[in-house]
Amino acid sequence: MARYTLEELASKISGAKIENCADPKKVQVESVSPVNPGVTNSISFLASKKMLNEAKKTASSIVMTTSEFAKELEVPCLVVDKPDLILAQVLDLIYPPHKFENKVEANAFVHPKAKIGKNCYIGNFASVAEDAEIGDNVILEDGVRIGRGASIGEGSHVGPNNVIHHGVIIGKRFRSFGNCTIGGDGFRFVFANGKHNKIPQVGTVIVGDDVEMGSNSAIDRGGLENTIIGDGCKFDNLVHIGHNCVLGKNVVIAGYTGVAGSTTIGDNCTIGGGCGIADHLSIASGTIVGGGTSVRNTLSKPDIYVGWDYGLTFPEFQKLRVNIKNVVNFQKWARRIKAIESKLGLNTED
């Protein structure tokens, strides 16, 4: 961790101002902590009015917040326009990320016909195959495999034990964590003569710029066409994208979600954790799919979809839940009505 005074910290963040502090040279910060309860010599951030009361009682030495909230606090404040966004800069300053050397480790393998850019790190037991192209400032951590003819854009950081199969094209500033696989065969078999016969997958995977993939994610290569992941997509751990899928820009997918083959997801969609999305569907741009939802039909209008349904919006799903509850309760009501009729000596037909 690094230590800064409030004055030093403010000087490193464009547009930052200091409020509620007579001598910012004497206020020290060496960690980042939640605003509640806070820690001495730490900086916390306040971006929502929900935490304002907690911020008034915080033990932190500095609160990073907006000018609006700073007026209601007595603690020294680092004032910025978007505290939750600037938090990333503060974290990098106080907890500097590890800097990799410009180096190819002795036990790494780089094919003579591979092209390696400037200022790259290739880790222990990593391998780069024939005709692969690695851009400038790329990090390949230990155990990474880059297949023949694959391409990794500049500024990318490929996590340990990732496998990037042949012909995969990855854009700039890609980030992945451990054990991801990109460009493995799509899941296609034809059952004939008493067995499942494999159909070769001859497409590839094209990944845009600024994409991030969590640990153990898997993206299948296309069958005849390509699987495409748009710019700015962010995947949590254990996300699977099937062959021939096309994802637009800025799609966010939480963990344990699978998207079956040949499905198209529009721009700016948010998919919750544990979702199952069937094949050959289309999901409209701006759609939100709640966690645990099974999507079996095309979602043609942007809305919030939830449940195990066949494409119900959130209000429709709430009505369905009420109706199911009413059906269950009706059985109890029916038994009570029959008991009353029996006591009254009424004979009714079922």
185 and 331 together in one domain: no
Residue 312: CA count within 13 A, CB half-sphere = 15
187 and 291 together in one domain: yes
Q: Evaluate if residue 5 carries a pLDDT over 70.
A: yes
Residue 324: per-residue pLDDT: 75
The catalytic site residues sit at 243
Q: Which of 255, 243, 273 is nearest to 213 (CA)?
A: 255
**Cβ-proximal residues to 12 (8 Å cutoff; 6+ apart), any chain:** 4, 89, 93
Q: Residues for the chain: how many in total?
A: 350
201 and 332 together in one domain: no
**Cβ-proximal residues to 309 (8 Å cutoff; 6+ apart), any chain:** 293, 294, 316, 317, 320
Phi, psi for residue 67 in degrees, rounded to 5: -65, -30
Mean pLDDT, rounded, of the chain: 94
Residue 349: per-residue pLDDT: 62
How confident is the model over 24-51, as pLDDT tens digits?
999 999 999 999 999 999 999 999 999 9
Last residue of one domain, picked from the residues 69, 94, 119: 94
Say if CB 165 and CB 182 are below 8 A apart. yes
Q: 325 falls in which pLDDT band (50, 70, 90)?
A: confident
Whether 103 maps to a domain, the answer reads no
281 and 321 together in one domain: no
Residues of the chain with pLDDT > 70: what percent?
A: 98
Whether 335 maps to a domain, the answer reads yes
How confident is the model over 112-138, as pLDDT tens digits?
999 999 999 999 999 999 999 999 999
Identify any residues that bridge with 176 across adjacent strands, giving them in sequence order. Answer: 213
Q: Which residue has the higher pLDDT, 232 or 347?
A: 232
Q: Evaluate if residue 293 carries a pLDDT over 70.
A: yes
Q: How far apart are CA 171 and CA 213, in angstroms?
A: 13
Residue 307: per-residue pLDDT: 78
Give Dmax (Cα) for the chain: 96
Q: 343 falls in which pLDDT band (50, 70, 90)?
A: confident
Q: What's the rounded mean pLDDT across residues 179-202?
A: 96
Q: How many CB atoms lie within 10 A of CB 304?
A: 14
Q: 217 falls in which pLDDT band (50, 70, 90)?
A: very high
Residue 176's SS3 state is strand
Q: Which of 268, 173, 182 is nearest to 218 (CA)?
A: 182
Q: How far apart are CA 167 and CA 182, in angstroms?
A: 10
- Find the radius of gyration of the CA atoms of the chain: 27
How confident is the model over 58-69, as pLDDT tens digits?
999 999 999 999
How confident is the model over 137-187, as pLDDT tens digits?
999 999 999 999 999 999 999 999 999 999 999 999 999 999 999 999 999
Phi, psi for residue 198 in degrees, rounded to 5: -70, 135
Last residue of one domain, picked from the residues 94, 122, 144: 94
Identify any residues that bridge with 218 across adjacent strands, giving them in sequence order. Answer: 181, 240
Residue 319: per-residue pLDDT: 82
**Cβ-proximal residues to 4 (8 Å cutoff; 6+ apart), any chain:** 12, 28, 29, 30, 93, 94
Q: How far apart are CA 173 and CA 211, in angstroms?
A: 7
Residue 309: per-residue pLDDT: 58
Q: What's the rounded mean pLDDT across residues 227-252?
A: 98
Q: How far apart are CA 231 and CA 236, in angstroms?
A: 16
Domain residues for the domain of 57 are: 4-94
Whether 99 maps to a domain, the answer reads no
Whether 74 maps to a domain, the answer reads yes
Give the number of domains in the chain: 3
Q: How far apart are CA 265 and CA 230, in angstroms?
A: 10
Q: 1 falls in which pLDDT band (50, 70, 90)?
A: confident
Residue 130's SS3 state is coil
Q: Evaluate if residue 99 carries a pLDDT over 90.
A: yes
132 and 185 together in one domain: yes
Q: How far apart are CA 149 and CA 93, in angstroms?
A: 37
123 and 227 together in one domain: yes
Residue 46 is part of a domain; what is its CATH number?
3.40.1390.10
State how beta strands 17-19 and 205-207 pair.
unpaired
Residue 348: per-residue pLDDT: 64
Q: Evaluate if residue 77 carries a pLDDT over 70.
A: yes
Q: Evaluate if residue 350 carries a pLDDT over 60.
A: no
Whether 229 maps to a domain, the answer reads yes
